[in-house]
Amino acid sequence: MPKIRLMIVDDSILFRSWMVQNLGADPRFEVVGYAINAIDAKNKLPQLKPDIMTLDIEMPGMTGLDFLREVLPTNPIPIILVSSLNVRVFDALAAGAVDFVRKPDMNLEGGKQAFLQTLKSKLVVGANAKVRLPSPGAFAGSAASRGGAVSSVSSNARGGVGTPSASASSSETISSAPLRSPSSFGNVDLIAIGASTGGTEAILEVVRQFPAKMPGIVITQHMPPGFTAMYAERLNRICNLKVKEACHGDKVMPGQILLAPGGLQMRVVKMGTGFSVSCTEEAKVSGHKPSVDVLFDSVAANVKSRAIGIILTGMGADGAAGLLRMRKAGAYTIGQNRETCVVYGMPMEAYRAGAVCTQSALSSIPQVVMAQLAKS
């Protein structure tokens, strides 16, 4: 199998050299070049023709965010952000970056090795990911907070620029207007959502269409500690529902979204006649902490048929087994379709396992949910 052609962009000579050395030593990758800043990367990109690149956000001259906005529309290459704790990561993901990894503490050997393992796995998957580009003019303020078209572009991991999928519209119109509130929630007490690679923007596209009156929503998005609090704040500014990073013991309430905190496992547990969440320090499950399987398993066990489960874009299989248990418990389950996924991994595994009642384009999932609420 051909090696993945990798370009590394970082203004720190020490960190950049360490990345080049360690990634170049992996037989899966060929480091075709590096750039000392975003301007340098912009100039070198046409000659190096990488399959994928890593990109820092804060750099002198041109930020990584500016690079994404200027370069991706004409060169839709998969990009993995490598950044310190920075709220601009979410703007960069909205601008088309595929995924991100938090920079390690270079004084901790264990942290460096864990970082490399995570980054390598994301590079392998990301080299074949779709690059989703916002419509022109979508960058006024927070890019994803505006309605508009989102182009889904396939990257050709061994040949450069891809083309829009033939089986889906080249632009998917996302309405910024919320849907009408349901007259009641019927037999649905809770909606559970799980996602990974590409999930930050996919989750936003779904929940921002929900009206303020909705069943309680719980979400697990694969994300490291620190970033989940910032992501919850971002969603809270944009959505009609209240959004917060979950704390142990938080009650699941209508009109509120609880986001699993990075580094902890979140479960839905019974609390009197309702439900709350437990957020505990535990080992990884299905390779993740938080894990979608952990969340979905708890919903299957405690909420049973009075739930809706949604699995969105992401690499791997986390959530597939849990969604199957939800469906077997009587819950209605939805999987994002191949054409609109950045990475059709988790939804594919769920579909293959028979865990999905219906597959849907990302933009249609809110309508599918509202139709199900109207039936229940």
How does pLDDT run across 225-260, given as a tens digit for each residue?
Answer: 989 999 999 999 999 999 999 999 999 999 999 999
Is the pLDDT at 161 greater than 70? The verdict is: no
Q: Chain-wide mean pLDDT for the chain? A: 88
What residues act catalytically? 196, 222, 318
Any idea of the CA torsion for 218, 222, 223, 229, to the nearest 10 degrees?
Answer: 0
SS3 annotation, 250-278:
CECCCCEEEECCCCCEEEEEEECCEEEEE
The confidence score (pLDDT) of residue 310 equals 98
Supply the pLDDT for residue 336: 98
pLDDT digit string, tens, across residues 103-135 = 998 888 888 999 999 999 999 999 999 998 875
pLDDT class of 183 with cuts at 50, 70, 90: low
Closest CA to 343 of 196, 203, 228: 196
Q: Give the mean pLDDT of 34-41.
A: 97
Residue 215 has pLDDT above 50, yes or no: yes
The domains found in the chain, sorted by start residue, are: 4-134 (3.40.50.2300), 190-375 (3.40.50.180)
pLDDT of residue 170: 29
d(CA 234, CA 218): 16
Give the three-state DSSP class for 309. Answer: strand
d(CA 338, CA 170): 14
* Mean per-residue pLDDT, 270-294: 96
As a whole number, mean pLDDT of residues 14-31 equals 97
- Please check the confidence at residue 71 and state whether its pLDDT lies above 50: yes
Distance CA 257, CA 255 (A): 7
Q: What is the value of pTM for the model shown?
A: 0.85
Give me the numbers of helices (H) and strands (E) for the chain, helices first please.
11, 17
Maximum alpha-carbon separation in the chain: 63
Residues 6+ apart with CB under 8 A from 59: 9, 10, 11, 37, 38
In the predicted structure, residue 145 carries a pLDDT above the cut 50: no
* pLDDT tier for residue 368 given thresholds of 50, 70 and 90: very high
Residue (of 114, 65, 113, 107) closest to 86 by Cα position: 65
What integer pLDDT is reported at residue 168 of this predicted model? 32
